[in-house]
Amino acid sequence: MNSNTKPNILFIMSDDHAAHAMSCYSGRINQTPNIDRIAKEGIRFDNCFCTNSICAPSRATILTGKYNHLNGVRTLYEGFDGRQDHVAKMLQSGGYETGMIGKWHLGQGGFYDPTGFDYWNVLIGNWGQGEYHQPTFSEMGEDRVYDGYVTDVITDLSIDWLNRRDQDKPFFLMCHHKAPHRPWVTSAKYATLYEDVTIPEPETFHDDYSNRATAAKEATMRVESDLTLVDLKEETPEHLTPEQAKSWKYQRYMKDYLRCVASIDENVGRLLDYLDEMGIADNTIVIYTSDQGFFLGDHGWYDKRFMYEESLRMPFIVRYPKEIKPGEITEKMALNVDFAPTFLDYAGLPIPDEMQGHSLRPIFNSEQPEGWRTSMYYRYWMHRIDHNVFSHYGLRTYRYKLIYYYADGLGVPGTLDESNQPEWELFDLHQDPSELNNVYAQPEYAEIVKTLKDELHALQEEVKDDRYVLDVD
């Protein structure tokens, strides 16, 4: 395979964009016509999951094809050591021109700066998040403030780099948006979108966390009490009842969140139009995803971190006209650890043995790979730091989800040095898709629990996460 036949790879990733805020997945609360175009002209994954639902760890996994205990970024307080091998370096060595534009969020300075990219221009400040308006970027180590709204700026910079790149090489561009990350600051263009609309509240909006592990009740990410004035942009009206105030806050939160998504959708359209105008759409793999899921009032929450579905599930849609049939939908399990091997497969490059994921290319082509996974392993390390979410790991199959809150920081950076009582949760997703009924202790599930624990331990051994495993019966 020579460089002229290798496909370009355009990887567009937003931050905290839940799949259920994309109309190609549900259409319940908003419309995303440009993002939907990728799904309509390609494939939609309905079971794509992250292995650790928090920004930096997910990004490190996407780059390396490794779980966080091996790539060194288990929490937000551990920077990414760019001296290690990762997919951008491999593609660069394999003849690709590589670019990284937008949110990096894996540390800054020295070996924390992006490596393996011919060009990088990444957001800095605000803990690596950057700002929504007048954002500051580090362009190859030189700081610069750009005029405008961050989603527009990232797209402008991406198109500019695509115009300047070596046209004789295939490209790999990671276009990483800040939006719709908290605190959901909108552009002027979409500031009044949804003004006269009432966003429907999710069925689990008034979840009381009964019959669940203590972790659910203790988490501080509730719409009713934990959104701040910075999030809401104005004081809550004093005359409202507690239930009315919760609904008022939800409307403020969701409308700003969806306005940020509208800007992303517009800019995805700009990139798709650019590929068409340049005549390179047919030979370009376009991927749209988010670094993890997000709670949109589900269980009364915002944020992510938990292994519950809305947080665990990533949107993942892919268009590649040369191979992928339009309108494909798959239930096959994909993980963020699979992304790097997939890129290498399409580039005609070897997939290193140390990568722990698998190329998704056969699934893109509607094949049925023998022995494809039927379960996945998850681990959240940041015990009680930010939103008081207890550390946990677990197993998800197509029907069941087993979660173990080991509830200990284990001395890992970015964790609270306290222990809480360990607890188990088991959800029968066929009977209880909203995950409201913990059936772990019910006698009729005893054999299922035993089988799932055996599979959990086997997966921990397979992914080499057995150094800090703690569990009890």
pLDDT in tens, 107-131: 888 889 999 999 999 999 988 899 9
Q: Which two tokens stand for residue 133?
A: 């308006």
Q: Is the pLDDT at 1 greater than 50, yes or no? A: no
Please report where in the chains the tokens 């086997």 appear, as a residue.
458
Confidence of residue 287 (pLDDT cuts 50, 70, 90): very high
Q: Which two tokens stand for residue 165?
A: 């790149």
pLDDT, tens digit (0-9, with 9 covering 90-100), for 266-283: 999 999 999 999 999 999
pLDDT at 470: 61
H-type alpha helices, 305-435: 309-312, 339-347, 361-364
b/e map of 40-55 (b: 16 or more CB within 10 Å)?
Answer: ebbbbbebbbbbbbbb
Sequence letter at residue 243: E
**H/E stretch holding 44:** strand 43-49
Sequence letter at residue 295: F
Q: How far is CA 139 from CA 24, 97, 115, 121, 364, in A?
A: 34, 17, 13, 4, 35
| CB of 385 closer than 8 Å to CB of 75 | yes
The Cα–Cα gap between 130 and 317 comes to: 26
Q: In 336-457, where do the E strands start and end?
A: 375-380, 392-397, 400-405, 423-428
Mean confidence (pLDDT) of the chain: 96
pLDDT, tens digit (0-9, with 9 covering 90-100), for 22-58: 999 987 789 999 999 999 999 999 999 999 999 999 9
The Cα–Cα gap between 417 and 414 comes to: 9
Which among 191, 207, 203, 115 has a CA at the least distance from the CA of 149?
A: 191
pLDDT, tens digit (0-9, with 9 covering 90-100), for 76-117: 999 999 999 999 999 999 999 999 999 999 988 888 999 999
Q: Which two tokens stand for residue 353?
A: 């043995």
Confidence of residue 260 (pLDDT cuts 50, 70, 90): very high
Which pTM was predicted? 0.97
Residue by residue, DSSP assigns 423-435 as EEEEEETTT-TT-
Confidence of residue 2 (pLDDT cuts 50, 70, 90): very low
Which among 318, 335, 319, 427 has a CA at the least distance from the CA of 372?
A: 335
The Cα–Cα gap between 49 and 396 comes to: 10
